[in-house]
Amino acid sequence: QSALTQPPSASGSPGQSVTISCTGTSSDVGGYNYVSWYQQHPGKAPRLMIYDVTQRPSGVPDRFSGSKSGNTASLTVSGLQAEDEADYYCSSYAGSNNLVFGGGTKVTVL
Amino acid sequence: EVQLLESGGGLVQPGGSLRLSCAGSEFPFNTYALSWVRQAPGKGLEWVSVISPGGGTTSYADSVKGRFTISRDNSKSTLYLQMTSLRAEDTAVYYCVRPLAPRWPLRGDFNYWGQGNLVTVSP
Question: Which residue in chain A is spatially nearest to B93 when comparing CA positions?
Answer: A45
Please give the pLDDT value at position B105: 86
Predicted pLDDT at A2: 82
- Convert the pLDDT of each residue in A10-61 to its tens digit: 999 999 999 999 999 999 999 999 999 999 999 999 999 999 999 999 999 9
Q: Is B113 within 8 Å of A51 when comparing Cβ atoms?
A: no
CB contact at 8 A, B114 and B35: no
Contact A104 B111 (CB under 8 A): no
CA B68 to chain A, closest CA, distance in angstroms equals: 15
Q: Is A60 on the interface with B (CB under 8 A)?
A: no
Assess whether pLDDT exceeds 90 at residue A89: yes
Question: Tens digits of per-residue pLDDT, B1-56?
Answer: 999 999 999 999 999 999 999 999 999 999 999 999 999 999 999 999 999 999 99
Task: Give CA separation, A79 vs A13, A14, A62, A75, in Å.
Answer: 9, 7, 10, 13
Query: Using CB atoms, which residue from A35, A97, A101 is nearest to B45?
Result: A101
Query: Residue B32's pLDDT is what?
Result: 97
